[in-house]
Amino acid sequence: MQFDLATAFMIGLFGLTHCLGMCGGIVGALDVGIDPKPLRAGGRMRFHLSYNAGRITSYAFAGVIAGLLGALAATASYGNALPIGRMIAGLMMIALGLYLAGWWRAITVLEKGGQSLWNRIEPLGRGFLPVTSTVQAFGLGLIWGWLPCGLVYSALALAMASASPFSGALIMAAFGLGTLPALLSFGTFAGALRKWVRHPLLRQASGLLIVLFGIYTVVMALQGQAHGHAPGH
Q: Give the count of domains, the chain.
A: 1
Q: What is the pLDDT of residues 126-153, one digit of tens each?
A: 888 888 889 999 999 999 899 888 889 9
Specify the pLDDT at position 207: 85
Look up the domain containing 94 and give its range: 2-229
Specify the pLDDT at position 232: 44
Q: What is the pLDDT of residues 150-199, one digit of tens each?
A: 889 999 999 998 989 999 999 999 999 998 887 877 655 555 555 665 66
Q: Which residue has the higher pLDDT, 26 or 100?
A: 100
| 84 has a pLDDT exceeding 80 | no
Specify the pLDDT at position 230: 44
Alpha helices in the chain (DSSP H): 2-14, 16-32, 41-76, 81-100, 108-113, 115-126, 134-144, 150-161, 165-197, 200-222
Residue 219: partners with Cβ closer than 8 Å, 6 or more residues away: 90
Specify the pLDDT at position 39: 42
CA atoms within 13 Å, Cβ hemisphere of 233: 11
Specify the pLDDT at position 48: 86
pTM score, whole prediction = 0.81
Q: What is the pLDDT of residues 50-59, one digit of tens each?
A: 999 999 999 9
| 226 has a pLDDT exceeding 70 | no
